[in-house]
Chain A
Amino acid sequence: MNKLYLVCTFLVILFVSADTYYYDQPIKIDYPESWPSPTYDFDSNPLTKAGVDLGRKIFYDPLLSKDCTVSCANCHLSYSAFTHVDHRLSHGIGDSIGNRNSLALMNLAWNKSFMWDGSVHNLDMQALAPITDPKEMGNSLDIVIQRLKDSDYYSTEFNNIFGDEVTVPKLLKVLAQFQLTLISANSKYDQVMRGDTAFTVKEESGYKLFLKHCNHCHTEPLFTNGDFANNGLTPDPLLMDLGRYSITKDPQDSFKFRVPTLRNISYSKPYMHDGRFRSLKSVINHYTLQNVNATTIDTTLKMGIYLSKKERIDLLAFLLTLSDKEFVFNQEFAFPKG
C-alpha cells in the first residue's frame, strides 16, 4: 500500500511539473549567425511554448472576426508563405474586398515597421488593424475579448500563461509570439551561403545581377532593407493608394511602399502592394523594360534597369533559390491539429 501511495504521489508530481514546465518553457528563435540581431524586444514579450501554441490556435481561429468566418490564416496561409495566394487584394468578412495585397509573414523579428505603409511600429500591435478593419475581420475588441472569456479553453489557457484573465494586450502578445517563430532561413540561397551546396551557373549569374541591381532595396540576408520606396508603379486610379504618404503626410513619401522581402517569392504571388503582377516575369519586366517617370521614384531606378533576355532568365533563376520548402511546409506553423 505504501509503495502504491509513493508511486501515485510521484506520478502526480511528474504531471504537475510537466504542466508547469509547458507553461514556463521558454522558446528562443533560431537564426543564422550571419544575420543581424533582431529588432524585436523579446524582453517585453518572452516566448514560451504555451504562448506560441495559444497564439497559433488563435491565428487559425475565425472567432476573431465579426461573423466568425475569417481568421488570420485566411489572408496569411502557411503554404503560400503566409500570404493570400492568388488574390490581388485580400478579402474579409462578407466577401468585402480590401485595398491591398496581403504581405507575406516571415522573419518578423527583424522588421522595423509593418504594413505596406509602415503604419504599425510594433509587431505586438499589428493585429489590431485587421481585427477591427471593416473590410477584414470587422470586429470590435470588446466582442473579441468576451468571446475568448466565454471559451473555457481560451480563458483557462490565458489564465495559465499570464495568471490573469484575457485582455487585449495579452491576446496581442500571444499572436505576436506565434508569428515571431515564423523564421525562414533554409532556402537554397541559405544553403549556398552556408557552404552546403552551390548555385548552378544560371543561378550564380542571376545572383551577381541581383547584387548589382536589386540588393540596394532587397538587401540580403533578409532581402529587404525595411525601408519604403517608390518603384515606379503607375498608381491604380481606382485605389489611388498614396502609400507611406497617408501616414507621414510628407509629399516626398507619395506612392512609396515598404520594400517587401523576396524570400519565398515563388510562393507569394501576386506581387506588389496591389497585387497587379501575377508572375515574377512581369515583375522583372516592370523593372527592366519600362521607362519610369515618377517624381518620388527611388534614385536607383531613375535610369531604369536594362537586362537582356538571358539576364532576365538568370535573375529569375536566382530568385527561385529564395524558396524555402521547409518553411512553407512546416507543420509547426500549419493549422493546429487537436
Chain B
Amino acid sequence: MLNIIKISILSFLTVAFSIVSHCQQASLQKLQLDFLTTYQGNILEFTDNDEELDILTEEGVQLIKFYIGNISLLKNGKTIWSEGKEYHLINSEQPSSFNVELNLDSTFIFDQIDFTIGTDSITNSNGPIEGDLDPINGMYWTWNNGYINFKIEGIHPNSSARGNEYQYHIGGFIHPHETIQYKSLMTSKYYNLIAVELDILFDHIDLITLPHIMSPSLAAKELSAILPNLFSLVNE
C-alpha cells in the first residue's frame, strides 16, 4: 500500500513538473529578424541546391553574405536585453539563414532593436570559432586574419572587370580600416521583416573604376559606412 502511495505521489509530481515546464516554455518570447534582399525592385530568390549555387539571380547577384550580431533590445535609449557578442551569418547559399530567431527568457517591452553589421575587433583577433564564424563559411581572410563583414558578388553590365564581374568583400578591423557598422531599428515588434536594399549600395559603387574590393582599405571603410542605410523595416 505504501509503495502504491509513493508511486502515485511521484507520478503526480512528474506530471505537474512537465505541465509547469511546458507553460514556462510557452511563455518564452521569440524575437525574429527576417531579412529580405531586394534589388531593382525585386526580391532576390536564392537556393540551397548545390547544383544551382553558381547560378545568378535574375538581377545578376550570385552571392550575398553578411554578419549581423550583438542584437539588443532598447527602451527609451537604454539596453534592456542583449545577446552579447554573438554573430549570425546571413548567407544566400543557405536561405534559411535569412531568418534569425532568438529565444528570449523573458517578455520585454522595447521600442528599438540594435545590431551590428559585421564583427568586432576582439572577435577578429581571436582564435577559431565554431558555427557561423567558422572559417569554412568563406568569410575569413586566410591571408590577412580577419572577417569579411559583408560580401556580395555577381555580374553587372557596367562592371569593367573580366566577364562584367564584381566582387565586394568589405571587412577590416584595424585602424584606420575599421568596417563594423551599427544599425538601429525603431520597432516594438517581436517579428520584424527587414529589407536589405542593394540598390542603395550600388548607387554608391563605381563599377567602372572599382569593380573589386578584396581587402581592408579606405575604400572598404567608405563603402561600409553605407551599409546601415541598406537595412529598413518592412512591417512598420
A123 to B217, CA, bound (A): 24
Asked if A14 is at the interface (CB within 8 A of a chain B CB), the reply is no
Contact A133/B143 with A167-B136, A168-B134 known, Cβ cut-off 8 Å: yes
**Which residues B109-152 have CB closer than 8 A to chain A?**
124-130, 134-136, 140, 142-145
Count residues on chain B whose CB falls below 8 Å from chain A CBs: 20
Contact A125 B136 (CB under 8 A): no
Chain B binder among A114-122, A150-158, A270-278, A308-316:
A114-122
Contact A128 B142 (CB under 8 A): yes
Contact A142 B136 (CB under 8 A): yes
Name B127's closest neighbour in chain A (CB-CB): A124
Chain B residue numbers with a CB within 8 Å of A145 are: 136
Contact B130 A167 (CB under 8 A): yes
Chain B residue numbers with a CB within 8 Å of A167 are: 130, 134, 136
Partner of A128, one of B124, B126, B135: B135
Chain B residue numbers with a CB within 8 Å of A169 are: 127-130, 134-135
Nearest chain B CB to A235's CB is how many angstroms away? 20
Chain B residue numbers with a CB within 8 Å of A120 are: 144-145
Asked if A289 is at the interface (CB within 8 A of a chain B CB), the reply is no
Chain B residue numbers with a CB within 8 Å of A44 are: 126-127
Q: Mark A126-137, 1 if CB is under 8 A from B, else 0.
A: 001101110000
**Which residues A146-189 have CB closer than 8 A to chain B?**
167-169, 172-173, 176
Partner of B128, one of A142, A173, A249: A173
Contact A141 B136 (CB under 8 A): yes
Chain B residue numbers with a CB within 8 Å of A129 are: 142-143
Chain A residue numbers with a CB within 8 Å of B217 are: 249
A167 to B134, CA, bound (A): 8
Contact A121 B125 (CB under 8 A): yes
Q: Mark A239-255, 1 if CB is under 8 A from B, else 0.
A: 00000000111000000
A173 to B143, CA, bound (A): 18
- From DSSP, what is the main secondary structure of chain B's interface residues? loop
Name A162's closest neighbour in chain B (CB-CB): B130
Nearest chain B CB to A115's CB is how many angstroms away? 9
Asked if B177 is at the interface (CB within 8 A of a chain A CB), the reply is yes
Contact A45/B127 with A167-B134, A168-B135, A248-B174 known, Cβ cut-off 8 Å: yes
Nearest chain B CB to A250's CB is how many angstroms away? 9
Name A40's closest neighbour in chain B (CB-CB): B127
Chain A residue numbers with a CB within 8 Å of B136 are: 141-142, 145, 167-168
Chain B residue numbers with a CB within 8 Å of A133 are: 142-143
Chain B residue numbers with a CB within 8 Å of A172 are: 127-128, 135
A133 to B143, CA, bound (A): 8
Chain A residue numbers with a CB within 8 Å of B124 are: 121
**Which residues A249-305 have CB closer than 8 A to chain B?**
249
Chain A residue numbers with a CB within 8 Å of B128 are: 124-125, 168-169, 172-173
Chain B residue numbers with a CB within 8 Å of A168 are: 128, 134-136
Contact A128 B140 (CB under 8 A): yes
A176 to B127, CA, bound (A): 10
Chain A residue numbers with a CB within 8 Å of B140 are: 125, 128
Chain B residue numbers with a CB within 8 Å of A45 are: 127
Nearest chain B CB to A167's CB is how many angstroms away? 6
Partner of B145, one of A41, A125, A173: A125
Chain B residue numbers with a CB within 8 Å of A173 are: 127-128
A133 to B174, CA, bound (A): 23
Chain B residue numbers with a CB within 8 Å of A123 are: 127
Q: Which residues of B contact A (CB under 8 A)?
A: 124-130, 134-136, 140, 142-145, 174, 177, 216-218
Sort A-B residue pairs by CB-CB distance and give the 5 closest, nearest first. Answer: A169-B128, A124-B127, A128-B142, A119-B144, A172-B128
Query: A132-B143, A142-B136, A167-B134 are known contacts; what are 9 more A-B pairs with Cβ within 8 Å?
Result: A125-B140, A128-B140, A129-B142, A131-B142, A133-B142, A133-B143, A168-B135, A249-B216, A249-B217
Q: List 21 A-B contacts (CB under 8 A).
A: A44-B127, A120-B145, A121-B124, A121-B125, A122-B145, A123-B127, A125-B135, A125-B145, A128-B135, A128-B140, A133-B142, A133-B143, A141-B135, A167-B136, A169-B128, A169-B129, A169-B130, A173-B128, A247-B144, A248-B174, A249-B217
